[in-house]
Amino acid sequence: MSPILRKLFLIDVFKYHKLKILLGVVFFAVIFVWIFPFSDLSDFVTDQVATQSRGQVFVQFGDLDIGLFPTLSIKGEDVLVDTAALPTLHIGEIRIWPALSSLLSSAKNPGEIPNFSLSASGLFGGNLTASVDSAKSPNKDIPMKDIEINGSRLNLKNLSRVAALPLKLEGQASMNGAVKLDPQFRLQPEGEMTLTGQNVRIPPGNVPTQMGPLFLPGFSWGQVQLKGRVSGGKFYVEQAVLGRPQDALYLQMKGQIDALMRPQGMSVGGFDLKMDLQINDSLSQELGPFLSFIDRFKRSSGTQSRYVFRAVSNQPGAPPNLLPLSNF
């Protein structure tokens, strides 16, 4: 190669000064991270999340840091998340890896959610990983996102509080799911999820009903399994199992629940559920008032009472119709 071309393409510079160039890049990165105004970055991220979610989500960071190696990442500690539909969530530590090409695209389209991956610890007392990526859409005018979530050692007590369940839950759970959705919910989500619980317990207490509070004794199960999917505004319970056949209370359930997703949250409507409930004699005596509603579906099964029936409701909040079921 001619000397002119070597000078033009800086070949000799890279050949004889590689170490200097590398050290220069490293020192630049260190100084950049050192003097970077992270307090302003925290406010920027808070504003961006609020803007992208149309005021539905607000995030605050106790501490925020940025990493450049091996790829760009954002690390937050003592994070608080406020949403319109849920109580405040606390996350001990969260790390986010944004997709640079997606960030550039979302800068041109403020309403677009960028692709990213994240890892969170201390959320619901456990660990959570998630990723957001672009998905194929049946309508080219409606961008869709593929979301994958995996959680482990999640505290059911914290989860039940956030979900505002009428029953208190204790124990741990693991979950994984994948869903395709339109962030603005012009199309209903499509996806599936599984949840497995270990050492699940419901402590004794009163449960609100339309006829007043109903006292329930405590229940405990070594394992709980739930497998379902969402499609067309419905949640399909493909398999739900509480405990084992030898437990004091053993329940199998499947069916469907109307669950329409909107930007404001999920709207639960009617349902059609098939149930196979088995209870031992001692627990049957304690649950006498509750079991009187399903006593006509009772079948003897050794030392246990078995109830096989169908619960159907077409109107939210209305008592379900209980129907006989020949086979589960």
pLDDT tens for residues 190-201? Answer: 999 999 999 999
For residues 127 and 256, give the distance between their C-alpha atoms in angstroms, rounded to a whole number. Answer: 29
Output the pLDDT for position 7.
46
Q: Looking at the predicted structure, is the pLDDT value of residue 239 above 90?
A: yes
What three-state secondary structure class fits 206? Answer: strand
The least confident of 18-27, 159-168, 296-305, 314-323 is 18-27
pLDDT band at 43 (very low <50, low <70, confident <90, very high): confident
In this structure, which amino acid lies at residue 130?
A: A
Output the pLDDT for position 200.
92
pLDDT band at 6 (very low <50, low <70, confident <90, very high): very low
Interval 102-149: pLDDT, tens? 666 666 666 677 889 999 999 888 999 999 998 888 888 888 999 999
Higher-confidence position of 129 and 299: 129
User: Strand pairing of 116-123 and 89-98?
Assistant: antiparallel
Output the pLDDT for position 35.
47
Q: Looking at the predicted structure, is the pLDDT value of residue 250 above 90?
A: yes
Cβ atoms within 10 Å of 124's Cβ, excluding its own: 22
Write down the mean pLDDT value for the chain.
Answer: 81
Q: Cα–Cα distances in Å, from 34 out to 31, 67, 263?
A: 5, 11, 39
Output the pLDDT for position 4.
52
Contacts of 268 (CB under 8 A, 6+ apart): 257, 258, 259, 316
Output the pLDDT for position 183.
84
Q: Looking at the predicted structure, is the pLDDT value of residue 315 above 60?
A: yes
Higher-confidence position of 312 and 207: 312
pLDDT band at 40 (very low <50, low <70, confident <90, very high): low
CB-based contact 137:157 (threshold 8 Å): no
Q: Looking at the predicted structure, is the pLDDT value of residue 233 above 80?
A: yes
Q: Looking at the predicted structure, is the pLDDT value of residue 269 above 50?
A: yes
In this prediction, residues 250-276 reach a mean pLDDT of 89
Instruction: Give the length of the chain.
Output: 328
Output the pLDDT for position 324.
92
CB-based contact 291:268 (threshold 8 Å): no
Higher-confidence position of 214 and 262: 262
pLDDT band at 227 (very low <50, low <70, confident <90, very high): very high
For residues 42 and 40, give the distance between their C-alpha atoms in angstroms, rounded to a whole number. Answer: 5
For residues 133 and 144, give the distance between their C-alpha atoms in angstroms, rounded to a whole number. Answer: 9
Higher-confidence position of 237 and 3: 237
Q: Looking at the predicted structure, is the pLDDT value of residue 80 above 70?
A: yes
The least confident of 56-65, 77-86, 116-125, 157-166 is 157-166
Compute φ and ψ for 44, nearest 5 degrees.
Answer: -65, -45
pLDDT band at 246 (very low <50, low <70, confident <90, very high): confident
